[in-house]
Structure 1
Amino acid sequence: MAMYCPGFPILQPGIGAIQGDVYLPAEVQHVLWGRLPCAADAPVLTVAPGATVTIDTISHEGVLEDQGKDPLGYFGGHGVPAEAVLSDAIAVARDLARDVKRDGPHVVTGPILVEGAEVGDLLALTVLETTPRVPYGVISNRHGRGALPGELPRTPETVSVFASIYERDGHLVGRLPLVADGEPVVEFPLYPFLGIMGVAAAGDDRPHSVPPGPHGGNIDINLLGPGSTLYLPVQVPGALAYVGDPHFAQGDGEVALTALEASLRVTLRFDLVKRADALAEFGEVLGPLGRADGYLVPTGMDPDLDEAVRACVRQALSLIQARWGMAEHLAYAYLSAATDFRISQVVDLVTGVHARIREADFERIER
């Protein structure tokens, strides 16, 4: 069994540094469990464009019913002392309920109304920090899900793997044993990011938290850590943004169903790109568009992975033509020669693909 690492700062609600202009804790009245906000939801916070908000997020792992719906008992069984179990996670398990058959697993914080956001604008969410709230997390494989449904897990029950977090040479690493309850261990780097960033869907029905879509949601793109920006087409007045599904690390694909899931404190800046400016900057944006590490990151999503790739290629072509005026057949050639198309995830009912277009390749072109 991976062991709990004592001495790590535990970011209980309101404890620790708050970097943003405003702090939004993940109190029960500030979260949804298993569903995403829609137009009918009232905001829990209102901010002006340019505001920075520090937001607590809660991982669903350790809270779910197949783990006992008892974070104290679940994590205590892995050697975590009671004071290192997050009180807001305990409150969600105790005070909230979901329909296990109809709802998703994720806990999301929000929605946040952004003043002046109109349908057709882009909401730009820039990630300023992603700080682990605890030194442990969970990676789960559940039946009927993951990249190998029917093959794994080998047992009738859900397989949830506890992972501990350590500091190595000034960097945080995750640690897993090579065999169950054994030594030695394998270590891997952490890249904390939010799996869910989104805006409210139009209409009065809250979307299921698992499949991503034009609203964003559970897009699970591991490039979207600190320094990155996610652009989302606003679906309802005020945008009604939300975040959740915090990860400490994830490989492209997320094949087992979840990655290293664990609660984060994040700080985001909320900016608006009005429709006319958005069209001039990016063309028609039909779904989430990222910007990270010198790349523009268009996305494609579909239940069929082949169709998700095609959708991503089309979005990449549209972006290059609109932004740099490149002829379509030349843009297609460029994408084939110079752009990576990566699988974001294959486990969220709707599969995701994202491209990485190097902005430096176009730096000599005046806009």
Structure 2
Amino acid sequence: MILDPLQPGSGTIRSQHYLPATGRNVLWGRLPCAADAAVLEVDSGAEVTIDTLSHEGILEDQGRDPRRFFGSHGVDGDGVLDDAIAIAASDYPRDRASDGPHVVTGPIRIRGAKPGDLLKMTLIEALPRVPYGVISNRHGRGALPGEFPVGIETVSAFAAVDEDADGRRVGTLPLVAAGPRSVRFPLNPFLGIMGVAVSGDTRPHSVPPGPHGGNIDINLLTAGNSLYLPVQVEGALAYVGDPHFAQGDGEVALTAMEASLRVTVRFDVLSQTDALQQFGQLVGPLAETSEFLVPTGMSTDLDEAVQHCVRAAIALLGARYGMDSHLAYAYLSAATDFNISQVVDIVKGVHARIRVADFT
């Protein structure tokens, strides 16, 4: 089990490039745009170790005092992250009514990236910074608005990290409030937010995902896996945030097990020519694992999100393997799972899992 928190600058830092979640390195509630200055610049192929901060425990409806909030769940003051305390106590100009909750670290400029290229972001490592997380339901914004939360504005369930009999880290949640029995579930750390800056001078809200990536919440994007994003501005201006220890497809209660991570991400630029040859004309995020190609679809309407994902999958199979569209449609129906990424971020997400082994 994790004993000591990974405070800024302490503990394991894998890369020669390190970006703490402090000062000017973070945005709170908004995502970068073309007008934002990079806080770090690296070459294509570089790895960067990045501290990320969960928004849970620092928000106004939780008292905006992480020491007090986590202390009420038995966390010693030394077990609370210094950067979380600092941003909660700061006068950061976040408007609760119009800005999102997420803290994002960046943006990072990747030399040579230009519109038309693809940026490949590969999660190399994801280290939990604390041995606990929070799962919240608020704003009537989960899958069951009007039913949950019941009677109060916010329910924030504290989830601890423990070890199972085989020494693997698991999340634990009580079966009843303050009860002795608990349910255990696997931890699969990943970043809910991976993205590139949008064009123009308006920072997007941090909640809805889009062609820029952002809050896509695809739980397949664990260590070793990659996300491809169409570059919109010179240098890409990439960023990460919304760290999770675990999440089920759908993320139905609004958040999953939200908790801060120290991640190492490799940034690779694919030229427009190479991108077209490998993937065709991507209009949105595409994930890749050792087993699957994972096209995505997004819309405020879940039916439309599924349709967008199916069209993206058909186009991908045509570009990648030369597959006729009617046969690709048939193959997808017979052999591919379409999963709901999340239904709680205004713009809903769907992703398909296309087995690459089927085409070897």
Shorter-chain TM-score bucket reads: over 0.9
Q: CA deviation at 1:33?
A: 0.2
Amino acid at match of 1:114: I
Q: CA deviation at 1:171?
A: 1.1
Q: 1:202 aligns with which of 199, 216, 230?
A: 199
Which residue does the alignment assign to 1:106? 102
Q: Is the 8 A contact 1:197 1:218 kept in 2?
A: yes
Secondary structure of the equivalent of 2:140?
A: coil
C-alpha separation between the residues in 1 aligned to 2:58 and 2:289? Answer: 31
Which residue does the alignment assign to 1:334? 331
Q: 1:123 aligns with which of 119, 122, 127?
A: 119
Secondary structure of the equivalent of 2:172?
A: strand
Q: Is the 8 A contact 2:246 2:258 kept in 1?
A: yes
C-alpha separation between the residues in 1 aligned to 2:162 and 2:152? Answer: 32
**Structure 2 residue 277 is the aligned partner of structure 1 residue 280:** yes
RMSD of aligned alpha carbons: 0.8
Which residue does the alignment assign to 2:286? 289
Residue by residue over 1:238-295, the C-alpha shift from the partner in whole angstroms, topping out at 9 and shown as x without a partner, is 0000000000000000000000000000001010100000000000011000001410
Amino acid at match of 2:15: G
Which residue does the alignment assign to 2:243? 246
Q: CA deviation at 1:97?
A: 3.7
Matches within 5 A, 1:1-367: 8-95=3-90, 96-168=92-164, 169-363=166-360
C-alpha separation between the residues in 2 aligned to 1:50 and 1:277? Answer: 16
- Identical aligned residues as a percent: 69
Q: Is the 8 A contact 2:111 2:235 kept in 1?
A: yes
C-alpha separation between the residues in 2 aligned to 1:174 and 1:112? Answer: 32
Residue by residue over 1:60-102, the C-alpha shift from the partner in whole angstroms, topping out at 9 and shown as x without a partner, is 0000000000011111111101111000001111112411110
Q: CA deviation at 1:345?
A: 0.1
Q: CA deviation at 1:29?
A: 1.2
C-alpha separation between the residues in 1 aligned to 2:228 and 2:97? Answer: 32
Q: Is the 8 A contact 1:21 1:51 kept in 2?
A: no
C-alpha separation between the residues in 2 aligned to 1:161 and 1:98? Answer: 24
Q: CA deviation at 1:144?
A: 2.1
Secondary structure of the equivalent of 1:285?
A: coil
C-alpha separation between the residues in 2 aligned to 1:146 and 1:93? Answer: 25
Secondary structure of the equivalent of 2:112?
A: coil
Which segments of 5 or more consecutive residues in structure 1 lack a partner in the other structure?
none
Residue by residue over 1:12-49, the C-alpha shift from the partner in whole angstroms, topping out at 9 and shown as x without a partner, is 00111111131100012100000000000000000000
Q: Runs in 1 of length 4+ with deviation above 6 angstroms?
A: none
Q: CA deviation at 1:8?
A: 1.5
Secondary structure of the equivalent of 2:303?
A: helix
TM-score by length of 2: 0.98
